[in-house]
Chains A and B, each alone.
Chain A
């Protein structure tokens, strides 16, 4: 489904990614692990089209990434560290805007229903600038729920979520698994990796240092403790 070949990236003469290559199959939930500064976020942003790689190629569902053609981006969705919303617009307006830009056919009632389901109906007239980190994460979940995509690129999704928010995310993760949606997510949450990932991809010093489809608690602990 996704093929990544020899991606390299430097920032200010510092090499962040060095010839990173891997393939991801349809429906796989890949945990992208590694210490801070390893290049996980950069890799996700490159795949999302936010950062341009220095070299390398990638294909998603047979379509080349890193080109001026924007059509392939309908297959992917990015959930980053930042909220990725327009601060002056309301939650409803932000969701409606991004769905319109993705040419998704979603009714206003459906957006409102989801705002209620995620307990954001009380803030639907407030600009998202006033939302807490957890509320913004829930709004992002609505964006992902109402969009049609095949590859989710998710950077530390559990950050800022309260217990209820985590439950929403767990439920979504299971739904995405059932729908055979592919995920590449970075996290420092060992439990989340153990319960949700069916593959570990360790990035260290800009390279793929470890890649396994046998997700074992011992491996996760070793990776989290930097023993690889």
Chain B
């Protein structure tokens, strides 16, 4: 019940302010357009870089979204009210994770067509497989991102700490997601990149559990 109340709070806040989704989408569009103009390569060449460009875009977008999402906790120190309430802190983590996961997916739904329009993303790929990879990778990004942002919330250098910690922690996940996405673009099957799926899945499970169990300690001053 607490978890549902907290998720409802996150979604309601976003519906009111539209700060995360709008800033993530606008930033995503900007990065995609920058890539399109900066890499003035032939369409065939793009196919090699595209998986990396896609995940780099969503890494930047995620960092911006995380900073926005936690900024609302800081503005009137509402997070202190959460911490002083009889709320299980693991539930605070899960609510942030689930809502942020929804925000990333929403942003991707809005911006992915631009990869097709400007960066020559072919439409004849296995969409259901690609969707599965996005959902799993997004969960890992959200789990690691929310945990690191929780740590940054109570430190003066939080906005610097989040990207500095997030880049190395997310590297294996993003490498895996890029490899799988490239494989899907080449028409390969899931069996060809089992290893990377397991890596992403492991990160998703570990960071969800670690975040749930330790969010209380890491988010207190």
Contacts and interface: CB of A to CB of B under 8 A. Distances in A.
Contacts of A85: 76, 78, 81
Given A50-B221, A89-B16, A103 B86 contact: yes
Nearest to A90: B16
B5 interface: yes
Interface in A99-145: 100-103, 127-129, 136
9 contacts: A45-B80, A73-B87, A78-B81, A84-B78, A86-B9, A86-B78, A88-B16, A97-B5, A127-B17
Interface of B: 2, 5-6, 9, 12-13, 16-17, 19, 72, 75-78, 80-89, 216-217, 220-221
Contacts of B12: 89, 93
B5 A100 contact: yes
A218 interface: no
A89 B84 CA distance: 19
B18 to A, nearest CB: 9
A101 B76 contact: no
Contact of A84 (B6, B13, B19, B80): B80
B17 A78 contact: no
Given A51-B221, A85-B78, 8 more contacts: A50-B83, A76-B84, A78-B81, A82-B77, A88-B16, A89-B16, A101-B2, A102-B85
A179 interface: no
B78 A101 contact: no
B85 A101 contact: yes
Contacts of B77: 80-84
A68 B84 contact: no
Main secondary structure of the interface of B (DSSP, over half): helix
A36 interface: no
A93 B81 CA distance: 14
A85 to B, nearest CB: 5
8 A-B pairs with least C-beta separation:
A82-B77, A88-B17, A84-B81, A48-B84, A78-B84, A88-B16, A74-B86, A73-B86
B75 A87 contact: yes
Given A45-B221, A51-B220, A101-B2, A86 B13 contact: yes
A142 to B, nearest CB: 14
A131 to B, nearest CB: 10
Interface size of A as a range:
35 or more
A87 B19 CA distance: 12
Interface in A1-28: 11
B86 A101 contact: yes
Interface of A: 11, 45, 48-52, 68, 70-74, 76-78, 80-89, 93, 97-98, 100-103, 127-129, 136, 153
Given A50-B83, A70-B87, A83 B76 contact: yes
A52 to B, nearest CB: 4
Contacts of B2: 101
A87 B72 contact: yes
Contacts of A87: 17, 72, 75-76, 78
A70 B6 CA distance: 15
Contacts of A80: 77, 80
A73 B83 CA distance: 9
A169 to B, nearest CB: 19
A52 B217 CA distance: 8
Given A49-B220, A52-B217, A97-B5, A128 B86 contact: no
Contacts of A45: 80, 221
A217 to B, nearest CB: 33
Contacts of A76: 84
